[in-house]
Chain A
């Protein structure tokens, strides 16, 4: 039980020796407070000599303020050194206050103090340097704007997904309703024996909406074209047409016309599907 105590004592002694060797003390980084108390006694602070020297070097008393241009600002509160923001704020307010007072004095003397906009002279930082500063500021702003946009796009996408699904549902529902109402109307007509004038009852399933042709241009497709007009499109976007698209155009609504109407203005003069020589049309496998 004695050994651990001895160990501790020697440790403390070692540190004390090290401390007394230093002439000037350290600050709060040190572990003990003994350091701080000691050197303040040995530090020199010869106030009289300092004031003498001050008298030696200072300018004569009645020098006008314009030579000194110095303002003393009161520092109201103690500023914590480690709090960067507060410290810089304190400096900024000191400068602002000082400038205001100085400007008032200068104004009373009547001297110009602001640089007019058309006064061009050499500045302390070169123009090229200021260009760099400007580009950096712009880049920062750009980054912020982009981040905003990205965030908004994410949000919008989320929303639009929902909106789109809603719309699809709506459309499907609408279609169903239309077909239902046509069927109903037909049934009604059947039941009432095809005898009405059509004025009453009328075709209220129309809802006042006239059938609008879809604004999408239907491409003219030649009859021998098995891709349904989608082969040519591949070039435009650089990728092959999706299978769904091809199938849609052949078998879907508003796509390939089927064999009922084959010619449009484009295809009348289009002889791309025909080769110059030999058999025209027909499958190659066909036996002759």
Chain B
């Protein structure tokens, strides 16, 4: 009972924050109380101070495989504004349980890794409480622990995000871009955020999949952090990892449910893929039998002329 009331209150509080209304009390800054009017005067054109209060809840389902668990842990280390939570039971993936969990933790979005059959990983990306949610199929997973990914960067430094231009092609891509931006970008004044920018995320759409890469920016510099123009050219990128590829399946209007706003026509579930493969193999014997009968028919239909030399070696 108590839990419910608290969650409702948190929800009520969350909503006005998300609408970015100017705070009513005078804002307390390091230098003392600042009056609301002063702040507005400082900013241009009546825009209140924008505070990015994004908090991401990261959880997974039970029976997740080690590879995907490591991927989840990698993401946790990449996003300083996330909260990692315990595994949720498979029954609780439907319904309101996940939403309640998010409310409880006072988070505004959620990344939920669902692993099925110990083979397929589905990633739910949702904006809570009433935002859209997306279900992805994750493939081509490489974690940060692979020794071929040699880069390293500060833990908690704010990443630069790059999106390929084909995110503007369609409405659902735009929505996905916005969600990715909000979830993956560390808020500017987060407690755990470190000051420099030394890594860059790449989200790019190839073949209707979203590919994710994370590179470390390395510049051989002997000066201080001010870069002269020349050494920008000597900048190299070293891959840090992790790597994965997202295939959007469906976009829902609500958080973890709601009306379907978008369905990917090219998506085939991995079960169907496997079934197709098996069917291909299963047909070989039947095809062979059919081919044999066909051949027999053909031979019967076109009889050969008697062979002249058939009796040559007969004793």
Contacts and interface: CB of A to CB of B under 8 A. Distances in A.
Contact of B265 (A43, A62, A69, A100): A43
Counting chain B CB atoms within 10 Å of each CB, the highest count among A63, A64, A70, A73 belongs to A70
B244 interface: no
A233 B162 CA distance: 74
Contacts of B188: 66-67
A176 interface: no
Interface in A70-103: 70-75, 79, 81, 87, 90-92, 94-100, 102-103
Contact of B155 (A30, A59, A121, A136): A121
A140 to B, nearest CB: 10
Interface residues of B, number: 91
B213 A95 contact: yes
A7 B290 contact: yes
Interface in A111-136: 112-117, 119, 121-125, 129-130, 132-133, 136
Contacts of A158: none
A132 B152 CA distance: 13
Contacts of A71: 160-163
A112 B290 contact: no
Given A69-B185, A92-B237, A115 B198 contact: yes
B227 interface: yes
Contact of B262 (A50, A90, A113): A50
Counting chain A CB atoms within 10 Å of each CB, the highest count among B179, B206, B224, B273 belongs to B206
Contacts of B268: 24-27
Counting chain B CB atoms within 10 Å of each CB, the highest count among A54, A69, A124, A137 belongs to A124
Given A103-B227, A115-B154, A73 B261 contact: no
Contact of B150 (A11, A58, A66, A133): A133
A95 B217 CA distance: 9
A229 to B, nearest CB: 57
A51 to B, nearest CB: 5
Contact of A123 (B154, B168, B200): B154
A72 B167 contact: yes
A214 interface: no
B227 A57 contact: no
A24 B224 CA distance: 56
Contact of A72 (B152, B163, B219): B163
Interface residues of A, number: 78
Interface in B180-226: 181-182, 185, 187-188, 194-198, 200, 202, 204, 206-207, 209, 211, 213, 215, 217, 219, 221, 224-226
Contacts of A22: 272
A238 to B, nearest CB: 42
A36 to B, nearest CB: 8
B10 interface: no
B264 interface: yes
Contacts of B161: 68-71, 98
Given A26-B276, A69-B160, A54 B175 contact: yes
B102 interface: no
B222 to A, nearest CB: 8
A103 to B, nearest CB: 6
A94 B272 contact: no
The 6 closest A-B pairs by CB, nearest first: A98-B162, A43-B265, A50-B171, A70-B161, A81-B207, A47-B171
Interface of B: 20, 44-45, 47, 50, 52, 77-78, 127, 131-132, 144-145, 147, 150, 152-168, 170-172, 174-175, 178-179, 181-182, 185, 187-188, 194-198, 200, 202, 204, 206-207, 209, 211, 213, 215, 217, 219, 221, 224-227, 232, 235, 237, 240, 251, 253, 259-269, 272-273, 276, 290, 293-294, 297-298, 301
23 contacts: A4-B297, A4-B298, A44-B261, A45-B263, A50-B262, A53-B261, A57-B179, A59-B50, A67-B50, A67-B188, A69-B161, A70-B181, A72-B163, A72-B167, A75-B204, A94-B202, A95-B202, A98-B162, A112-B195, A112-B225, A114-B197, A114-B225, A124-B152
Interface of A: 1, 3-4, 7, 11, 22, 24-27, 29-30, 36, 39-40, 43-47, 49-51, 53-54, 56-60, 62-64, 66-75, 79, 81, 87, 90-92, 94-100, 102-103, 106-107, 112-117, 119, 121-125, 129-130, 132-133, 136-137
